[in-house]
Copies of this chain bind each other. A is one copy, B any other.
Amino acid sequence: MARETKRVGIVGLGLIGGSLGLDLQANGWDVQGFVHRSVTAERAKERGLVSDVSTDPACLAGCDLVILALPIPLLLHPEPSLLEALPAEAVVTDVGSVKQPVLEAWRDRHPRFVASHPMAGTALAGVEAGIKGLFRGRPWIATPDPKTDASALAVVQSLALSLGSHWLTAAAAQHDQAVALISHMPVLVSAALLRAVGDERDPEIRRLALVLASSGFADTTRVGGGNPDLGVAMASTNRGALLRSLAAYRWSLEQLEDAVLQENWPQLQIELKRTQALRPGFLETPDGVSD
C-alpha cells in the first residue's frame, strides 16, 4: 500500500483554491500554495489559506497531490514551468467547469491526471473569496476516460468525500452537455433578459421597468449579470454543447409563445403546470448520489 497522501499543492488561490486550502488544512494536510503574484501570496498567507505559499513552481516538489485551481484559459494553456514542476508520481487534478477540453489538454501531459469538477461557488472571486465548508453537500464529479489511472481516480474520490462532497463520475461529453443546460445556457438566457429591457426605446417604459422590477426580476437576471470573463470562458470552451442547449431553449420558448399567440390558454396552463412540477427536482442534491 502507498503511504497516506499528506502533502497537497494548490495552484491558484481564488475561491475554489483558497476554500480547498482552508478545508484541507483543517483535515490535517500540509498545504503548499503556488500563485503568480507575490501580493497574492502574502494575502493568502495572512488569511491562512495555506500552510506555505510560493511564487516559484518548484515549491510543488514532494507533493503527493496537486490541484490545479486555475481559470479555464490558464488551465487549457499551462505554462511550461508549471508542467516541468509537477512531480511525475503525484496525482494531478483540476476543478474546471468544462471537462472535454481539459481532458484533451491534459491526458497526454501527466500520467496521473484526473479531470474533475466540484460544483460549488459563490458570487465572489480572488484571494479574499475562499471560505470553509464550500464543498460540503455539493456534487463533485470526475470524468475519467480509458487512459485515467484508477488509483489516481481513487485519490481524488477520497479527497472529495473528505470534504463532504457527493461523488459521481460521468463521461466528459455528457458532463459538458449537462453543465451547458443548467449553467452556461442560463447565463445567456438571463443576460438576454437584461439586454431586452435595456434596449427598450420608450424612455418612460424604461423608467417604469427600472422602478417596478421586483425580486423576481432580480432572481431571473442574477446569472446574466455575473462575471463577463467567466461567461466568455464558459461559452468559448463549451461552445458546441452551449449551441445545442440554446437551440433546445429557443424551441422550448417558441412553444410557450405559440400558446400565447394562439390564445390557447388551456395549453399554456398545461405547460406552466409542467414547469412548476419540474422545478423542485433541481433544488436539492438528490439522496443516494454520494458513495
Contact = CB atoms under 8 A, between A and B. Distances in A.
Interface in A233-250: 235-236, 239, 242-243, 245-246, 248-250
B186 A276 contact: no
A51 interface: no
Nearest to A222: B219
Interface string A53-87: 00000000000000000000000000000000000
A232 B194 contact: no
A272 B190 CA distance: 10
A104 interface: no
Nearest to A225: B279
Kindly name the residue among A168, A211, A265 whose own CB sees the greatest number of chain B CB atoms within 10 A. A211
Contact of A212 (B119, B191, B252, B255): B119
A269 interface: yes
Contacts of A256: 188, 191-192, 195
A208 interface: yes
A263 to B, nearest CB: 7
Indicate the member of A202, A221, A236, A268 with the most B CB atoms within 10 Å: A221
Interface in A254-278: 255-257, 260-261, 263, 265, 268-269, 271-276, 278
Nearest to A186: B220
Nearest to A194: B275
A133 interface: no
Interface stretch (A14-22, A41-49, A176-184): A176-184
Provide the main secondary structure of the chain A interface.
helix
A204 B253 CA distance: 23
Interface residues of A, number: 98
A27 interface: no
Contacts of A226: 276
Interface in A184-229: 185-200, 202, 204-206, 208-214, 216-229
A2 interface: no
A195 B275 contact: yes
A210 B178 CA distance: 9
Contacts of A121: 214, 216
Most buried by B among A217, A235, A282: A282
> Which 5 A/B pairs are nearest by Cβ-Cβ distance?
A225-B279, A178-B208, A228-B272, A192-B253, A213-B282
5 contacts: A183-B217, A195-B278, A211-B286, A221-B282, A228-B269
